[in-house]
Amino acid sequence: MQIGVLALQGAFIEHEQMLSKLGVSSFEIRQKKDLEIPIDGLIIPGGESTVQGKLLRELDLFDSLKQRIEQGLPVFGTCAGLLLLAKKIKNDDRSHLATMDITAVRNAYGRQLGSFYTEEEVKGIGVIPMTFIRAPYIESVSNGTEILARVEGHIVAARQKNQLVTAFHPELLEDLSVHRYFVDMVKGALGQQWGGTNDKQRP
């Protein structure tokens, strides 16, 4: 199994380190020719969604990544990655990959509350630590998107089939459980591809 990590800007190295702790190899996607290498999943890191969105278009990565996600490539977006996947960003003129049926609010906690730490339950995982940095939250979900976590009433994690998003940054803490959850999603997709299931082989 190999997971591609979009490495245009932001906290991509931290995701690679989490995957390595789980014994999963990762591959940095920086330019179009990197898409020739087969990947079984994709992580879109936190950073600045406007910068990443612009680079995705300029480097001509946009259409093929969007198409692969729409065809079922498992994807995990954190923070800016959540914004890149959202079909609608309430306080932004444009959306980006727009593959996931969520409406997100950018910089939703305001300048003063830009960064904070909490612990909350994520459905299917349990109570985990969460770090928020100038984070978005999800205002609403549709078309079968499942809400996985809320903090103070706001949706901060969700899943729609092959797409997982968190408004917080699990890659910045020690807890591996969200990455393990995503690796299990990738294994599930690989199992379906080969007509079987291999989800007993945890890393």
3-state helix/strand/coil string of 45-110: CCCCHHHHHHHHHHCCCHHHHHHHHHCCCCEEEECHHHHHHEEEECCCCCCCCCCEEEEEECCCCC
Would you count residue 187 as binding ligand GLN (CB under 6 A)?
no
Nearest distance in Å: CB 162, ligand GLN? 21
Cα 68 to Cα 63: distance, rounded to the nearest angstrom = 9
Question: According to the annotation, is 48 in a ligand binding site?
Answer: yes
Residue 107 vs 177, nearer CB to ligand GLN: 107
Q: Which residues contact 25 (CB under 8 A, 6 or more apart)?
A: 1, 2, 3, 19
CB under 6 A: which stretch of 19-27, 36-44, 79-87, 123-131 binds ligand GLN?
79-87
Cα 56 to Cα 144: distance, rounded to the nearest angstrom = 27
Determine whether 171 is an active site residue: yes
Cα 90 to Cα 75: distance, rounded to the nearest angstrom = 22
Would you count residue 103 as binding ligand GLN (CB under 6 A)?
no
Q: Give the residue, chosen from 4, 41, 46, 170, that forms a contact with ligand GLN under the rule CB under 6 A.
A: 46
Determine whether 120 is an active site residue: no
Would you count residue 83 as binding ligand GLN (CB under 6 A)?
yes
Catalytic residue among 15, 16, 171, 179: 171
Determine whether 169 is an active site residue: yes
Catalytic residue among 79, 96, 139, 152: 79
Six-digit token pair at 129?
Answer: 């630590």
Which residues are catalytic, by number? 79, 169, 171
Binding residues for ligand GLN (CB under 6 A): 46-49, 79-80, 83, 106-107, 133-134
